[in-house]
Amino acid sequence: MELLKRILYILLYPGLIYCVIGGLILAGIDRKLLARMQKRIGPPILQPFYDFFKLLGKETIVPRNAAKKAFLAAPVIGLISLITVSLFIPVFKFSPFSTYADLIVVIYLLTIPAVALIVGGSASGSPYAGVGISREMVAIISYELPMVVSLLAIAKKVGLALNNGVMTFSLSQIVEYQAQNGPLFTKLSIIPAFIAMLLVIPCKVGSLPFDIAEAEIEICEGPLVEYSGAPLAIFKLNHAIKMLVMTSLFVTLFLSGAGTGILAIDAVIQFILMLVVMFFSITLLKAITARLRVEQTLKFYWTYPTALAILSLILVYFGL
Amino acid sequence: MFEKLIQKGLEKSAWLYHLNTGSCNGCDIELVSVITPRYDAERFGFKIAGSPRHADIIVVSGPITSQSRDRLIRTLAQVPDPKVVVSLGSCPRSCNVFNGSYCVEGPLDKYTPIDVAIAGCPPKPEAIMAGLVRAVEILKEKRRAMK
């Protein structure tokens, strides 16, 4: 019975099916909103599904000087790790795979899709992909620092209240704290970390002001340049699921609480909050900005978001 | 089951790759105007792709110059099946005013069969849209023939 429940979790709700359908719908709403902001009619909300199935029906070409196994395995590895992250993120009080230190597992697993992109790009043997993977590495270095520091601030804040002053890395404890004391973004000391994390999301999912690795106009989508057919479809799917996972993590960290106790209603509330977060951090930013250069991205992330995150950590230590 | 979805996907999401083989830029600007807010080809799922490996429809503009002939052949070979070749404007069909020049090696049908030809110098955005919608139909037929 327990095993059956676990399999259901992995395949159905926070796992495979939810990730694929939810991620693609999220990406479709993003494209529609962006089009409406540019005074266009825009593609239908189901457009990412059409793209996905069309790419499945195309021929898959493996370039002659590509490393075939790594080239074909990279997108699948990214997909698997993203679905695993989704299993660890609690939806209000519902957390199927709660462990003692999920936050660390989540940080590590969230790096794997970016690494998969690097592996796939370098296996394809194209100079455009070479430029793309070096930029992807810069992107990882830039967003990782503010993200980890703001997560530390949250861990300390929750640990002071629930874990005898020791940092806690358990996401279910973070949710429990928010159920007792209200959402974390209302706490004065966490507000800077909230803003920093909001700025980390667009770089993590590779959306416009920070999409240096997949710059479509400059380097023809960078690491994806040699991909076609089914592997490209899975990379596009990864991109959509990354959006889902990052906004879901954000909602759980800052906007969570006790919820209603009924899973279906909680899931719907979580999805609506994710849409709001996606609108402000991804769609709005995409519509009003142009792409930054590589060194501008690094400079931006290591100044303002990092400073905000460290400020938050200091405020937490002062007990605000 | 998947075949139906793939057909629907091909109908709703065809990605373009624009290949300029020595065009005067007139047709290129008209093609770009198709994706602007006024005409918005994205509502039919058309998107300009950066790489020929992502493309379904290859839009060729310009008479084939000797510099670009080799690149044209190599680029067309890189596009995964099913693919459709669309000639944009008069140049790829007849070389237009460049006919007879020492550096022009057109027309396009010497190198590849053309599926849709959009006439005009340059063609209107409405004509380009109509041509692209026709190209999508041919794309679906080619997929059916692949099976």
Q: Is the pLDDT of residue A178 over 90?
A: no
Average pLDDT over residues A268-276: 90
Q: Tokens at residue A98, please?
A: 């709660």
For an interface test with B, give the residue of A33, A40, A41, A58 to mutate (most B CBs within 10 A): A58
Find the mean pLDDT for residues A77-98.
86
**pLDDT at residue A165 above 80?**
no
ipTM of the modeled complex: 0.89
**Structural tokens at position A235:** 């990379």
Number of neighbouring beta carbons within 10 Å of residue B116: 20
Asked if the model's pLDDT at residue A307 lies above 90, the reply is yes
Contact A47 B13 (CB under 8 A): yes
Rounded CA separation A156/A255 (Å): 17
Task: Kindly state the DSSP code that residue A278 receives in the 8-state scheme.
Answer: H
Q: What is the DSSP string of chain B?
A: -HHHHHHHHHHH--EEEEEESS--SHHHHHHHHHTSTTT-GGGGT-EE-SSGGG-SEEEEES--BHHHHHHHHHHHHHSPSS-EEEEESSHHHH-GGGTT-TTB---GGGTS--SEEE-SSSPPHHHHHHHHHHHHHHHHHHHHHH-
Mean pLDDT by 10 residues, chain B (147 residues): 82 89 89 88 87 90 90 90 89 87 87 90 90 91 83
Average pLDDT over residues A265-285: 90
How far A46 CA lies from chain B's nearest CA (Å)? 10
Give the torsion sign (CA, A131, A291, B28, A227): positive
User: b/e string for A242-258 if b means 16 or more Cβ within 10 A?
Assistant: bbbbbbbbbbbbbbbbe
Instruction: Give me B113's structure tokens.
Output: 């069969």
State the CB neighbour count (10 A cutoff) for residue A4.
Answer: 8
Cβ <8 Å between B51 and A221: yes
pTM of the model: 0.90
Inter-chain CB proximity B42 and A35 less than 8 Å: yes
Inter-chain contacts counted by CB atoms under 8 A, chains A and B: 91
Out of 3.40.50.12280, 2.30.30.60, 3.20.20.150, 3.90.480.10, the CATH code matching B2-146 is 3.40.50.12280
Amino acid identity of residue A235, one-letter, is F
pLDDT for A27-59, tens place per residue? Answer: 999 999 999 998 888 899 999 999 999 898 888
Interface test with B, best of A33, A45, A54 (most B CBs within 10 A): A54
Q: Any CB–CB contact under 8 A between B141 and chain A?
A: no
Q: Confirm or reject contact between A36 and chain B (CB < 8 A).
A: no
How far the first Cα of chain A sits from its last, in Å, is: 45
Answer yes or no: do B53 and A227 touch at CB < 8 A: yes
Report the pLDDT value the prediction gives residue A76, as an integer from 0 to 100. Answer: 92
pLDDT, one tens digit per residue, over A114-136 is 899 899 888 888 888 888 888 88
The answer to whether the CB of A207 falls within 8 A of the CB of A198 is no
Of B9, B42, B53, the CB nearest to A54: B9
Contact A35 B40 (CB under 8 A): yes
What pLDDT is attached to residue A77? 92
Token digits of residue A137: 């590495």
Residues of chain A positioned with their CB less than 8 A from the CB of B43: 35, 40-44
* pLDDT reported for residue A92: 82
Residues of B in contact with A40 (CB under 8 A): 37, 40, 42-43
Phi, then psi, of B77 in degrees rounded to 5:
-70, -20
* For range A168-172, the mean pLDDT: 85
User: Which pLDDT score, from 0 to 100, does residue A240 have?
Assistant: 92
How close does chain B come to A156, measured CA to CA in Å?
45
Selecting from B2, B42, B80 the residue whose C-beta is nearest the C-beta of A229 gives B80
Inspect the interface and report whether the beta carbons of A41 and B40 lie closer than 8 Å: yes
Residue A98 has pLDDT above 80, yes or no: no
Ordered alpha helix ranges (H), A95-126? 102-124
Q: DSSP code of A91?
A: B
Q: Which residue has the higher pLDDT, A12 or A36?
A: A36
Q: Is A185 a residue whose pLDDT tops 90?
A: no
Q: What is the pLDDT of residue A241?
A: 92
Tell which phi-psi region holds residue B89, choosing left (phi > 0), alpha (psi between -120 and 50) or beta.
left
Stretch A66-80: mean pLDDT = 89
Q: What is the pLDDT of residues A224-258, one digit of tens each?
A: 888 888 899 999 999 999 999 999 999 988 888 77
Site from B5, B8, B11, B13 to mutate, A interface, most A CB atoms within 10 angstroms: B13
Distances (CA, A) of A71 to A111, A123, A129, A130, B55: 18, 5, 12, 14, 19
pLDDT at B134: 92
Helices (H), chain A: 2-11, 16-37, 47-56, 68-88, 102-124, 127-162, 171-181, 191-205, 216-219, 230-254, 263-278, 284-288, 294-317
Q: What gap in Å lies between CA B56 and CA B13, rounded to an integer?
A: 9
Q: Is A65 helix (H, G, I), strand (E, B) or coil?
A: coil
